[in-house]
Amino acid sequence: MEMNCGDYLKQVENELRAETIRESANQVKTLGKFQESSDGLWEPVPYSGYTLVTPTFLDDCENLDFYRLLSNIREELFWNLLFPGIVWAPTIALHMTIGRLLSGDIFASHISNSREEEFLLALSQLFSQIASSGTLNYEVKGLSIFPQGVIAAIVSPVTEEDYRRLQVCRDYLYTDKVLKKLGVERKRSFHGHITLFYIEEELSGKDRKMLADAVIDINKSFFSHPLPFSLTRAEVRKFNDFSEFYRQDHWPVYML
């Protein structure tokens, strides 16, 4: 199911093409993870689970400069989107997913409340078996739009070895027999990205054009050179909705 490095890099290149961005803007739907309250605020919809991610923005000491610059780029993009329904991914939640674990109905039916300690222990035991090999070098080459309702920074490896080593980690994760019994499965291939905005209102044709134009202009203005992004840790984090991805100090972590 996983792509080889060459195919992954081609996918990244395609996602950043102006033509692809325009196609995605024309197809984009609402994500449905936030809803507008009676006082006009966007509030997260309950949706629980666990995920394996890079440390979130304020906890990621290795990438603080990267996130500060990405936040400036995100703000610049926002002021060029003059229509409602664009919801900021909370700053404390910015991260890249390394591996999806359990969420939604699968989380509720397999481990919620009764088997969470068993689940966390299985991950700890798995990580203890994987040798650490050092920091992985990745980079962000631009922003793109996902038809599911997301605007994101697209992350890609610097070298084939950086990509291969991340896939080794994912292979361990998705072939572990204990985790499989608890409901963890590989449902899609790796797609490195950092979500910046959610789209939560249907867009008009004019809005879709404005969205595509804004993302394309941002890529021309800010990504003549990629932004370096280092992967040093894979942390197990829990979420009750998309406003925060949190962890406790004793929860499993894999040092890359």
pLDDT for 168-197, tens place per residue? 999 999 999 999 999 999 999 999 999 999
**Average pLDDT, stretch 71-87?**
95
Domain that holds residue 199: 5-255
Q: Alpha-carbon distance 228 to 230, whole Å?
A: 7
Instruction: Tell me: pLDDT of 21 over 90.
Output: yes
Instruction: Tell me: pLDDT of 114 over 90.
Output: no
Q: What is the CATH number of the domain that holds 248?
A: 3.90.1140.10
CB contact at 8 A, 161 and 136:
no
The type of residue at 168 is V
| DSSP-assigned letter for residue 61 | G
Q: Which residues contact 8 (CB under 8 A, 6 or more apart)?
A: 156, 157, 163, 190
CB contact at 8 A, 143 and 218:
yes
Q: What is the domain count for the chain?
A: 1
Q: Where are the alpha helices (DSSP H) in 151-254?
A: 160-175, 177-181, 205-222
pLDDT at 112: 84
pLDDT for 117-140, tens place per residue? 999 999 999 999 998 889 999 999
Instruction: Tell me: pLDDT of 1 over 80.
Output: no
